[in-house]
Structure 1
């Protein structure tokens, strides 16, 4: 994900970099990755995680 952000010209500060590297929640990483593909700012990627109940249900189908 850091490589995608860099390739898109989005700078990542140290605190955000550590947050990304330290994240072990695969659903959250997946969400951030999807956002990173379209975001214009890092804050668009790392905004608060919404409920993933719907996402988990959709994957189970």
Structure 2
């Protein structure tokens, strides 16, 4: 299992994770502080069998 974590508002990062074949597992609500404000974080992942299938399909 490989995880990709990104700020929920970072649409470029989310689009890249999706393009790579990762699946959005969910959102960690207010999981990290930045400049005194807590922010949500998206968690994306791919499992080894899924990754191998994507690679075999040329993605």
TM-score range, shorter-chain basis? under 0.3
User: Normalising by structure 1, what TM-score?
Assistant: 0.27
Higher helix fraction (1 or 2): 1
Higher strand fraction (1 or 2): 2
User: Normalising by structure 2, what TM-score?
Assistant: 0.27
Higher relative contact order (CA 8 A, sep 6+): 2
Question: Could you say which structure has the larger radius of gyration?
Answer: 2
